[in-house]
Structure 1
Amino acid sequence: MGQERTGGRPTSKPGRPLRGSGSRRRPRPRRRGIRVAAWSAAGLVAVAGTGGGYLYYHFNGNLKGVDINAALGSDRPDDVDNGSMDILLLGSDSRAGANAEYGLDEGGARADTAMVLHVYEGHKKASVVSIPRDTLVTRPDCTAENGQDEPGGTRVMFNTAYQVGGPACAVKTVEQMSGIRMDHYLEVDFSGFKNLIDELGGVDLTLKQPVNDAKSRLDLEAGPHTLDGEQSLALVRTRKAVGDGSDLGRIQLQQAFVKALIAQAKSVGVFSSPTKLYGLADTATKAVTTDSELDSVKSLTSFANGLKDIGGKNLDMVTMPVVYDTSDVNRVVPLEKQSAQVWAALKADRPIPASATKDSAGDKGEAGKVVGS
């Protein structure tokens, strides 16, 4: 899934908790301006398009693109043209460079957060399917970014696909699991996520109970908060504060955070200050890696405008149906029949049936006891 803020942001050093005492919610002015299309990667896209022509080439230079189509060739699911759209959203956990403070560099980034965003025909509603990073899957053969062949395998953790083969291997693995061709790819790393939240002014969130997780360095009291980038990142990374401490509980928190972000960020004001305008667009375009079809400000802005009508009330969020692995309780395995129902519904551009997630461990988390109004 930064720069230090002033005006009440708690100062934190690696290894010390991020306390919430300096970030209780403050009255925020009503703002007018462009609409943020969705959340995280999708939300930053709309901001990227506000810079005007005089900064167009600069912001284009910030963007990083990956040619997924060239990397995967024709060995992919059919491109279904029914007006819907499927996007793989990844939060990568590299500890290299600006991300070093979040842990040791273990020799490559992994997909710390993975969501398949399905936008239904008409682009008025969407579904999100979170894929637990600890899911044991059959990973296909991939090609590493250095050109080396990486053989696939069975019972391999899902998040290693990104580690061995980068974005193309992550997309290939998701397409093999789901039978759905991904139309686009969007990725944000730790520092990009944190900086973006800070530039957007934080995220308002109400906690029903305290959240304290020494590993993610998060220490928040119950009650309303305006979380800055550091605290937001800690919240979506925390595992010990919810449920049984597994990745499934963290996914529940991530989904609750997404809902909170959408609720307050449907309209983001672009200040008249050129410096603020520049900061928003510059941070947004630096934070994201996309597929090659979205690696321009024009394409990203068009993409974001296509999502502007999607809000929390017409966004369905579920976790891919899974159960804990019988031989390793730290891993989960897909419920094959139920997962097939989820993917079949999206492929046919239909809502995900409630029966598909009824027996899944992934949607029995306790985020509702932690986050809410």
Structure 2
Amino acid sequence: MAGRPPGKGGPEEGTPEYDWLYGGTGAPPPDDATRTVPQMSRPGPEETRVMPAMSRPDQARGDREQAPLREPSPGYAPPPPSSPERGSRGRRPRLPRPRLRWIVWALLLWLVFLVAVPFWAWTKVSKVEAFPDGERPAEQPGTTYLLVGSDSRADLTEEQRRELGTGGDVGQRTDTIMLLHTGRGPNLLMSIPRDSIVEIPGREGTDKINAAYAYGGPALLIRTIEQNTGIRVDDYVEIGFGGFVGMVDALGGIEICPTNAMKDPDANLDIPEGCQEADGGTALGYARSRKTSAQLGDVKRAQHQREVVSAIGREAVSPWTVVNPVRYYRLAMASSRSFDVGEGTSALSLGRFAFAMTRVDGRNGLTCGVPIRDLAVTWDEPRSQEMFEHIIDDDTEGIPEGLCTPSGLPRP
């Protein structure tokens, strides 16, 4: 092309047909589509537009309330509600799996502990030959336990004997004799005064019932009770002074409610009137003392013994015993060292005995003494035989109110 240096791709200045491109006066060719872009003018201040104001939510809500509702078209179905997302407010947070696993394992271990400790304690319980040979009463409905509190000091040290005021060995006799009957009716805990005068098999004449233990041990005592009452003894449980104290201390004490102030130097007892907490030593003195009640003597002591036994039962099955592992273990171990049981007594039977002892406190069962006619604890033959028949027939529910009394004496 003329007027353009070789190798240059653009038009050369001075060429007539391109003067308009370099500011000349020439006009662009009519058929050329290249045109200058017109310059846009900026809006002035008066042309600035204002954004429309948004209505407030409450105002919009009012507008919606005023607006008529449209009827849904036929066949319209509302969409299903969307499920809340994980972690939203409406959903309960889940425990992490590792934490939940530890909780399950802890509960399983706790159950194993609750079951294993009593069975371990059972292996420590002493067994004695308690049941006599020869003729005995026939099997009877219900279960009757013989609970004996031995006055042996063999399980006490010299220091403990001084602290508890038990003195030295005076021959092994029974300080406490009780029959616990369980069956269809209310549980019955009946005291047999240790000074009761009865016939002892193999001995001439009569003697105090607790002498049977000294003469022939548990077997002769069971034979004596069965011969004089007609009640068959199914299981035998014996506890000594030391075991009694250990059980009460393992429970952290029990509540006793003396009706008068009691001071007995022989039992190391000095307590005021009214309900109070008692440790093992105080509870033992409370159950042993009979000099603080000149009128009732041994009868009153038997009432205190039943009161203490019931209190031990209530504390043993309290929720705190199960929740507190230390108390649970100490009670189980103290019980294993406290009891001697007959060879025929099983772990299950002893467990039933322990549970039955929690239901003899007057609200859940009956507590009374053998019916007597005087404070010399002479058995009242008609009334005592009536009581024995109710036990033999497993009819504790049918015992008349005046027959089962705390002292054993008839109600005035």
| TM-score (structure 2 length as normaliser) | 0.63
Where in structure 2 are the equivalents of 1:212-227 lying within 5 Å?
212-227=263-278
Q: Please point out which of 74, 80, 89 is paired with 2:147.
A: 89
Q: Percent same amino acid among aligned pairs?
A: 29
Deviation at 1:245, TM superposition (A): 5.5
Is the 1:162–1:169 Cα contact (8 Å) retained in structure 2?
A: yes
Are the equivalent residues in 1 in contact too, given 2:182–2:356 (CA < 8 A)?
Answer: no
**Residue equivalent to 1:347:** 392
1:337 is matched with: 382
Cα deviation code 1:95-140 (max 9, x no counterpart): 234176112212x31111101111122xx62112210001110001
> Which residue number in structure 2 is paired with residue 322 of structure 1?
372
Tell me the alpha carbon deviations over residues 223-282 of structure 1, each in whole angstroms, 9 at most, x when there is no partner.
Answer: 431100000000000112224262112112223334444555542524667554432211
The answer for the alignment partner of 1:177 in structure 2 is: 228
Question: How many angstroms apart in 1 are the aligned matches of 2:205 and 2:149?
Answer: 24
AA of the residue aligned to 2:125:
L
Q: Give the alignment partner of residue 336 of structure 2, picking from 285, 290, 293.
A: 285
Q: Would you say 1:134 and 2:199 are equivalent positions?
A: no
* 1:206 equivalent among 253, 257, 261: 257
Over the aligned positions, Cα root-mean-square deviation in angstroms equals: 3.0
- With over 3 angstroms needed to count, the CA separation of the structure-2 counterparts of 1:277 and 1:130, relative to structure 1, is closer
Residue 109 of structure 1 is matched in structure 2 by 172
Residue of structure 2 equivalent to 1:78 = 138
**Equivalent of 1:237 in 288, 291, 296:** 288
Higher Rg = 2
In the alignment, the residues of structure 1 paired with residue 404 and residue 329 of structure 2 have an alpha-carbon distance, to the nearest angstrom, of 43
Counterpart code for 1:132: P
Within the alignment, does 1:250 sit opposite 2:317 as a pair? no
Contact residue 245 and residue 281 of structure 2 kept, 8 A: yes
Deviation of residue 299 (structure 1)?
Answer: 4.7
**1:184-217 Cα distance to aligned partner (Å, 9 max, x none):** 1111111100100000111123344322122212
Q: d(CA) in 2 for partners of 1:96 and 1:79? A: 35
Query: Where does residue 65 of structure 1 map in the other structure?
Result: 127
* Structure of greater relative contact order (alpha carbons < 8 Å, 6+ residues apart): 1
Q: Give the distance between the partners of 1:317 and 1:342, measured in 2 at CA.
A: 12
Amino acid in structure 2 at the alignment position of 1:255: R
Structure 2: which 5+ residue stretches go unaligned? 1-111
Q: Tell me by how many angstroms 1:306 deviates.
A: 6.5
Residues paired across the two proteins, number: 292
Matches within 5 A, 1:12-91: 52-53=115-116, 56-57=119-120, 59-69=121-131, 72-80=132-140, 82=141, 84-91=142-149
Q: Which amino acid aligns with 2:254?
A: V
In structure 1, stretches of 5+ residues that fail to align are 1-48, 142-151, 366-373
User: Does 304-313 or 274-283 show the bigger shift?
Assistant: 304-313
User: Partners in 2 of 1:273 and 1:261 — Cα distance?
Assistant: 17
Amino acid aligned to 2:244: F
Aligned partner of 1:156 in structure 2 is 207
Higher strand share: 1
Question: 2: CA distance between counterparts of 1:229 and 1:215?
Answer: 16
Equivalent pair of 2:125/2:337 in contact (CA under 8 Å): yes
Task: State the alpha-carbon separation in 1 of the partners of residues 156 and 357 from structure 2.
Answer: 30
- The 2-side partners of 1:79 and 1:305 are apart by 22
